[in-house]
Structure formats: structure tokens, C-alpha cells
A and B are shown apart, each in its own frame.
Chain A
Amino acid sequence: MTAIRTQGLTKRYGAIVALRGLDLEVAEGEVVGYLGPNGAGKTTTIRCLLGLARATSGRAEIFGVDAQARPSVAHRRVAYVPGEANLWPDLTGAEALHLLGRVQGAADTAYRDELVERFQLDPSKKVRAYSKGNRQKVLLVAALGSRADLLVLDEPTTGLDPLMEQVFRESVGDARARGQAVFLSSHILSEVEALSDRVAILRAGELVEVGTLADMRHLSALSIEATFDAAPPDLSRVPGVTGLVVQGHDLRCQVVGSVEPLLGVLAASGVHQLLSREPSLEELFLAHYGESGSTREPSHA
């Protein structure tokens, strides 16, 4: 059974289309990273999934339950961490954890206590006295400690220091090892790269890429750096070569598809040193948005 399935999920705010026909699946026990620039529709997706926003059309299921029609049933197996840790300021951390655990209906209190230790959270303080990072820790401990079958995390490490971010990664790893599914929306590409089995990339409300990182890299341009004994050859007519940059005897380019024609030209041109590299997630991400990371509206938007 899939943890999350959306079919044609669309959300409009007046004339603005925030989400357009989203088809997405997250399998049980899978960690899916959800990427996109600000305003791409990531949080809208999550709010539609959780019934916090009503979809204009389409369907969203959580473990086979219609999340729009029967949200409270669907939420029995879900724990959610929003990006804004706006808890009740007059509750203490312990009170907030108790409340969220009770409302969730299930909490592994021993594991929750362990998480409190791991995240170095002092639960005796009032929420109003917490820093932003500590408030985020309360929500992370509540969600992870629920042992829910699906964790929906919307930029969950906002405000965490690098040490705590490492604890978060370990905790998500533990959750995956226990068979929990994780839907992770984040701007921290290294985090997504480290944790995710698959990555979904959203642009202007549309899913433009989804798959494993290996698949994406395979289908994406390969970065080539070559050094020649003499002037580099003209590669502009070699099939698949783009982004050609020549500096003295050094050459950089990307190649899409078969590298055989390129290798033939390079071998015949006295190449001194050759380095090929798969694109990082950051490069894949930027390839969809341009160097500025800005969103390009689809032509039919």
C-alpha cells in the first residue's frame, strides 16, 4: 500500500494556480525529498494532503484513505512537522509533547524521552522561553516519538544548529529503518540528498521531475572537464555537448546522452587529463530553475 498518493491534485487561490494536477506516490518505508523554490507549491501540497487546505480538484490519499473526505481517519497514521514552530506559548515543552501525543492517539513515551535526550531539549521550559530551534525540536520530538507510519516534514530543520541537524538525519534514518515513510520538504539540498530514496521537484505548481537521484543523474547532463597539451578542439558540433567553456588549455562542458562522439573527438585531440562527474542534486535543482533559482512559469500557466 502506498503511504501517499495524489492524482490530479489541483489547488487554486482565485486566479492563481498554486498546484496543478499533481500526481505523486510515496511508498511505505520510503523517504521522498520534495524540492522547489519558494512559492512552487510544496507547502500547498502538504496542506492539501493534511486537509488543512481544500483541493480544488483531484484526489489525495494517505494509506488508501481519502485525505480530503476523511482527514481525521487518514491522520491516524500521520505525524506532521510544519516549518513554523508556532506552539501555544503558555505551555511548557513537556505539556506540549503530552498534548500532541494524546491528540495523536499514540506515542512511544520511552522513545520520546530518548529523543528529548538526543535533541538536548529541556522540556520544563515554557514554549515562549524557547528559541526558534528549540520550538522546532518540540515538534520533531512529538512527530518522531509518535512512531507514525508516515512523517510529513515541511522544512523541519529550520532553526536547528548543524549538530542537531545531524541528530535529525539519524532519527529519520531510524524511522526509515523501522519502515516509516517520510515525505520531506526542504530547501537544504544536502539534507535531501543524504536522506531521500527518491526526489520530487516542483516548479510553479507542477511536478517536473521525480525519481531516484541515480535516475536523475543518469538522465541529466554529465559534467566534463578536460586539459589538453595544446588548444582544445572545437566541440560545438559534437552531439549532446552544451555549456562549453574554454580557458587556455582547459575545457569544461556538459554532455547529454551518449558520450561516445565526445570521447572520440577528445581522444583524437591529445587530451592530457579528463574528469567526468555526475551532477549534484544542487546542479540538478538549478538545471530546472536556472542559476538564480527563480521559478519559470510554464507557458500555459
Chain B
Amino acid sequence: MPDVETGFGVWVVGRRTARRAVRSAVVWGVLFGALVANEALSYHSGFPDTASRERFAATMGDNRGLTAVTGPARSLDTLGGFVAWRMMSLMLVAGAIWGFLTATRLMRGEEDAGRWDLLLAGRTSRRHAAGQAVWGLACAWSVLWALTATGTVIAGLQPSVGFSVADSLFYATAGVAGAAMFLAVGALTSQLGANRRQANALAAVVFCISWLLRMLADGQVLPGWVRWTTPLGWIENLAPLTDPQPWALLPIALLTGGAGWCAIGLAGRRDVGQGVLTGSSVPPSRTRLLNAPGGLAVRLERWPALAWVLGLGALGFVFGLVARAAAEGNFGDSSVGQVVNRDGGHVSLGAAWLGYEFLYLAAILAFAAAGQIAALRAEEYDGHLDHLIARPVSRRSWLVGRLVLGLGLVAMAGMSIGLGGWLGAGGRGGLDALDLLQAAVNVAIPGLVVLGLGAALYGVAPRLAVPLLYGFVLWSFLVEILAGTLHARWLVHTSVLDLLGPVPATGLDGQAVTGLLVLAAVAALVGFAAFDRRDLATA
């Protein structure tokens, strides 16, 4: 009789968790690596002389509001300082959110779906299965780190960059430290919450409090030592590429290890399907939206949609702040403006910055749109759609309803970005409301195209639709950020982001917008027709 603790069965849990977590880790790792490499390699073209670098450092470094949002700016007149400042906040936020969402999906989500029971019926125990799941998450984090480090090291070895390998590795470690901590936090909240949603909410609360404390400390609203009370502050204290402090890894390692250890311990002490903090399974009945499939879709998607709209609006605000600071600091006139306005026209500096930064938001919004297609595919895969289609609901009306919801999300998120950008810019830097309205429309267009293409893929090949769509968005984003270094222009044109100009640095390209909207509409029609003709495919 094999020993329970060393039996083969227990490794199945670990391998399964690792396999599933590594998929998204690869995506984010490639993205982080490519972004870091891009920032490092494009620094000299963006800031070709000492004067422009010093102007940039003086403006950004002294801006308390901006520092509160993006973190402290150290040695901004150096390449290392610039890369650290540009990428660290993005990586720690994206990594942390990826971390806790992945952990709760693969631990609490599996439990909610009943698959955890099947695994536990094998030669394992609750505690050891949780231990293996945590090991699987650690494997995924290792892949994330390795890919981020690869991109940083490759860029760092270029003569124009010149980071040492040790500095690059430390930077990559700092960049994905947020992911490590919040993978562990997600594993812990998976034991605390009564279900995955509660586990996510608890982890999100930890993240938000951590972010808020860091922001108040960086904005000098609270004393600087407060930064030591928050996990996101610990990452800032690592100061990679400027003044590396490896000992600041200690609290990060302690939190990660401690949360992981607690998660494993709690998993062994509680009943499967129950949380340590038992939630109410008897909530008040709310039927207001539950009168039709459209209302159901709103009910199911409203909180994630709201999070996207507010989150993107907040990012728009941050980028508006950056644009305003850029305009007031009068830097980049020979750099960013030239990069953005390739045709040689003249644009305001604020508009140039915002046009450049908003391409990132367009890509994120396209990811949100892909998420809508993933959600409707999940409705079918989980068998929920059968209950609707077996009643007097036509397939077409259901799909139209879901796409209209997605369209509403994309439109609201686009407007939220525009509004956030306008508020952040505060009417400075040559940015008026009309400019940002056009920018809002511009950032929404890729999302609409993704919805249309997603509908087509969903109709034609439902099982492949979600990976293909996410792959397309990721491809578009990577191609766009590497556009400057790609010689094959046809490759650049495969990006859904490429056809749009960097509004508000340029005007809205009516022809491109119309063309893309027609493409989206035609693709959606193909999707309707194919969906009408195929079998519903459940698990």
C-alpha cells in the first residue's frame, strides 16, 4: 500500500495546477519581458540627450501626485531609473492581480466546481493536495520570472542598455515579486472565503489596502515608514536598477512563505466546500434583473464589467496626469512627439504622450472584450445555456444580447478612459474634451473588433475561440510595442492596434474606424450564422 504522503496521486494535483497556471504565466511573462525590453531599447530614441533626460527627471521626480500613483522616481535621468519607474508599477499591479486571480481560480474555483472532490478521492489528503497546488502555483511563478528575466537580460546585454546580468535578474525578481506574494495571498483567501468570489474579494481588499497605503506614503500624505507596512511598498524598497536593496526581499519572502504555509495548514483543517469564514448561503433573493437572458447576463457580468470600467478610467486618469506633467515639463519635444507623429506634423506634448499611452489602454480594453467572449463561451460549456435555449429563446437573440452587453462594456470603458484622461490632464497640455472624446472612441475600436472577431470564432470554432482570441490580442499588443524594431511592415499591420492612430496626438482616422467597424460587423454576422447552425457544446 503506497504511503499517502508520497503516493503518485498527490503529484497529479500539483502537475495539474502547474499545467493550468503556466499557460497564463507564459502570456504575462512574454508580455513583461517584451515590455521591459522595449522600454530599455527605446530609451535613447525617446531621450536622445542629457538635457531632455534631466528635464524629464526634474518634472516627473518632483510631481507628488504622479509619484503617488506610479511610485517613487529614482534616478530618472538614467536608463535604469527610467525603466524601473516605467515598468515596476505596471508589473507589480498586473502581477498581483494575476496572482490572486490565478490562485483562487485553481484552488477555490476547482473546489466550487466539484473537481477538487475527485482529486481528493485519490491517494492524497486535503493538506497535501493544497500543498501540491501551492507547488503548482510556484512553478507557474517560476515561469513568469524566467520569461521576464529573459527579456530583461537580453535587452540588458545590448550595448545601448548595459545592465549587468545580476541587475537584470534582480529587476525581474522585483517586477514579479507582487505576483509571488499575491499568489500566496490568493491561496490563503481560497481557504478563508466560502467560495471563489469571496476569496477574490478578500484578496482584492488586501491588494487595495496595500495599494492605498503605498500611494499615501509615496504621495507624502503619510510618513515614509508606512511604505514598510504594505507589500507593494516592500517591492518599491527593492529599488532595482537604481539602488538595489536585496535584503528588502526578506519581508516579501516571509509573506509569500507564510501565506502559503497557512493556506496549506487551513486546507487540512476545514471541510471541503466550506470556508474558514463561512459566508451566508441564504442571501436575500434579488429577481429584478432575472426576467430575460439579457438581464441575467447583466446580473452575471455587472461587477467584473464595473471593475474594468473603473480600473481603465483610473489608468486613463494616471496617464492624463503623466501627459499633463509632460506638457508642463516641456520635455520630449524632440522625442515622444517625433515618435508619435511619424508624419512630421506638430502635436502638443500632452496629446503626444496621451496618444502613445492610450495604445496600452486600447490593448487592455481589447483583453476585456475577449473576456466577454470567454464568458459567453463558459455559459455554453458549463451547460447553463441549455436552460435558456431549451426555452423560447432563440440562439440569435441570446448571442445578440451578450454582444450588446460586451459592446456596452467596451463603450463605457472607452468613455471612462477618455474621461479619466481628461480629468488627469485637467485641461492642460493642449488637451480639450473633444480630443479626449475622440481618444475614447479610438481606444474602444480594437475592443469592438475583438468582439466581432470573437463572435465569429465562437460561432465557427467554440472550443478554440477563447485561446485564439486572447492570442490575437496579445499578438497585436506585442507587435505594436515592437513596431519600431520590426522591419517587416506587413507583420505590424496584423495588429488590430496598428490601424488606429495615436489619438489625441492625431485626429481620429474616420476611414480606418469605419473599415474596422465594418469588419467587426461582418465578423459578428458570420458568428451569428455559424452559431445558429452548430451544436451547443457542453463539458
Residues of A participating in the B interface, judged by any CB pair closer than 8 Å: 47, 50-54, 71-73, 75-76, 78-80, 82, 84, 86-92, 94-95, 98-100, 102-105, 123-126, 128-129, 139, 152
User: Most chain-B Cβ atoms within 10 A of its Cβ — which of A52, A72, A76, A99?
Assistant: A99
Interchain CA distance A102-B296 in the complex, whole Å: 11
Q: Are B384 and A86 in contact (CB under 8 A)?
A: yes
The 12 sampled A-B contact pairs (Cβ below 8 Å) are A47-B535, A52-B536, A71-B394, A72-B393, A75-B393, A82-B383, A86-B383, A98-B285, A99-B287, A103-B392, A103-B393, A125-B282
B356-415 with Cβ < 8 A to chain A: 382-384, 386-395, 397
Interchain CA distance A99-B290 in the complex, whole Å: 5
Interchain CA distance A92-B284 in the complex, whole Å: 9
**B197 an interface residue at 8 Å Cβ cutoff?**
yes
Interchain CA distance A126-B286 in the complex, whole Å: 12
Q: Evaluate whether A80 and B383 lie within 8 angstroms (CB atoms) in the complex, with A54-B534, A94-B287 already known.
A: no
Interface of A is mostly: mixed
Q: Evaluate whether A124 and B285 lie within 8 angstroms (CB atoms) in the complex, with A86-B383, A95-B290, A100-B387 already known.
A: yes
Give, as a whole number of angstroms, the nearest-CB distance from A132 to chain B.
9
Name the one of A72, A98, A124 contacting B290, with C-beta atoms under 8 angstroms.
A98
Q: Evaluate whether A88 and B384 lie within 8 angstroms (CB atoms) in the complex, with A54-B535, A102-B290, A126-B283 already known.
A: yes
**B511 an interface residue at 8 Å Cβ cutoff?**
no
Give, as a whole number of angstroms, the nearest-CB distance from A107 to chain B.
11
Interchain CA distance A84-B285 in the complex, whole Å: 24
**List of B residues within 8 angstroms of A52 by Cβ:** 386, 389-390, 535-536
Interface of B is mostly: loop
Name the one of A72, A89, A92, A139 contacting B283, with C-beta atoms under 8 angstroms.
A92
Q: Are A86 and B388 in contact (CB under 8 A)?
A: no
Interchain CA distance A164-B292 in the complex, whole Å: 30
Residue in chain B with minimal CB distance to A91: B290
Q: Are A124 and B282 in contact (CB under 8 A)?
A: yes
Residue in chain B with minimal CB distance to A76: B392
Interchain CA distance A149-B460 in the complex, whole Å: 34
Give, as a whole number of angstroms, the nearest-CB distance from A62 to chain B.
11
Give, as a whole number of angstroms, the nearest-CB distance from A113 to chain B.
14
Residue in chain B with minimal CB distance to A94: B285
Q: Are B392 and A50 in contact (CB under 8 A)?
A: no
Q: Evaluate whether A129 and B392 lie within 8 angstroms (CB atoms) in the complex, with A52-B386, A98-B290, A102-B291 already known.
A: no
Residue in chain A with minimal CB distance to B381: A86
Give, as a whole number of angstroms, the nearest-CB distance from B459 to chain A.
13
**B89 an interface residue at 8 Å Cβ cutoff?**
no
**List of A residues within 8 angstroms of B290 by Cβ:** 91, 95, 98-99, 102
**List of A residues within 8 angstroms of B296 by Cβ:** 88, 99
**B509 an interface residue at 8 Å Cβ cutoff?**
no
**List of B residues within 8 angstroms of A90 by Cβ:** 197, 300
Q: Are B287 and A98 in contact (CB under 8 A)?
A: yes
Q: A75-B391, A103-B293 are in contact. List 11 more A-B contacts (CB 8 A).
A: A47-B535, A47-B536, A53-B536, A73-B392, A80-B390, A82-B383, A88-B296, A103-B391, A104-B391, A125-B282, A152-B390
Interchain CA distance A80-B291 in the complex, whole Å: 18
**List of A residues within 8 angstroms of B387 by Cβ:** 80, 82, 87, 100, 103, 139
**List of B residues within 8 angstroms of A72 by Cβ:** 392-394, 397
**B195 an interface residue at 8 Å Cβ cutoff?**
yes
Give, as a whole number of angstroms, the nearest-CB distance from A240 to chain B.
46
Q: Evaluate whether A53 and B390 lie within 8 angstroms (CB atoms) in the complex, with A94-B287, A128-B195, A129-B281 already known.
A: no
Give, as a whole number of angstroms, the nearest-CB distance from B398 to chain A.
10
Name the one of B293, B383, B391, B533 contacting A84, with C-beta atoms under 8 angstroms.
B383
